[in-house]
Amino acid sequence: MGRSRPSGRRRPGSAGCLPARRCHPRPRRPLMTMNDMAEMPVQLPTDPKTGAEARGRYFNSGNAFNIKLPPVPPRILREEPAQALAKSATGWVLCDLSAELDCPFPATTPLMLARYATVLAGESLDTTFTCTASIWYVIEGTATIHVGEETAILGKGDVFLLPGGVESRIEATATSVFWAVGNDPQLAFEKAAPITGPEAATAFVHYPAAEITHQLDVVYNRDANETTSGHALIFSAEQTEASRNIAPTLTLSLNTLKPHSFQPPHRHNSAALTLAVAGDPAYSMVDDLKCDWSPWATLLTPPTAKHSHHNDGDTRAEFLIVQDGGFYYHGRTMGFEFF
């Protein structure tokens, strides 16, 4: 008998078998030609008659959308709170990742900047920022905050919202340490300034620790259904009540985890900056990176990253989360989903 013809089908794992290639041919690279518009540099006006015409620039559909920006890195920031809690001097410790983000201004994410502040007893610190709003948490100490014509006494566990562009300062009665997040990078990117006065987007708001505890107890007295992301207290304000945000583009929540529980993996299009308030031991998973919490550390969760939070301890974990979610809620692009 003659030699039988090969069937053209090999058993998986047999020599010479490349099932991935057979089933999934390698995509061809787009052919580049000497006349490819994707290789063109920016085009300048050929014969501008005015300064306004001369300022025009022209790209095309081949080269306008291929800008490569550095990704937002997942990160747990521990050195910054340690510096602030050393209480060596009154001043700021910025969570500045601008070099990694290729930003020409201080930034923790492209649109938010987290910072720690230390104010020694008897000293003061100017807290007037170029932002729409900044969200603050009192890690420890007692102080008086002056915001325009208003004042308030601050204590450990308080949260407060400062409007941007309004003169404000903190005077410490006892040495105090704060955590703050503002949208300074957003305004720096746009080279914009906050509106002040009656048309301002935000006002000074004080959320005392005792009231926060009461409101969280109210939440805990109700059950969370399967579509709810655990038991969390969401902060809002009179001017932003309709959107349920604390500021037009910023959201703030005090999330909790019961002992030996976890928040299921999920994602959203906003970036998140999380302050570890309580939890021992606790950690977060950001994609495949395990981020162990330490007291008052800041966790950076990149936009769209799969992440989850875990409490392995015997007491309730608490963590304060600021997101630039107001942008995405307004644009109908929040993209929240569980895995």
Mean pLDDT lowest among 37-41, 223-227, 255-259:
223-227
The per-residue pLDDT for 27 is 58
> What are the beta bridge partners of residue 64?
none
Residue 4: its pLDDT value, please? Answer: 41
Element (H, E) at 185: helix 184-190
Residue-wise pLDDT for 276-310, tens only, equals 999 999 999 999 999 999 999 999 999 999 999 99
pLDDT per position as a tens digit, 23-73: 455 656 656 566 899 999 999 999 999 999 999 999 999 999 989 999 999
Q: How confident is the model at residue 225 (pLDDT cuts 50, 70, 90)?
A: confident
Q: H or E segment at 276?
A: strand 272-278
How far, in Å, CA of 45 to CA of 136, rounded? 48
Please determine, looking at this structure, whether the domain spanning 75-208 carries the CATH number 3.40.50.20: no
pLDDT at res. 6: 40
Round to whole Å and give the CA distance between 194 and 8.
70
| pTM of the model as a whole | 0.88
pLDDT digits over 152-166, tens only?
999 999 999 999 999
Superfamily of domain 210-338: Jelly Rolls (2.60.120.10)
Residue entry with tokens 């910072």: 115
For the chain, which residues make up each domain, given as ranges?
Answer: 75-208, 210-338
Average pLDDT over residues 60-88: 96
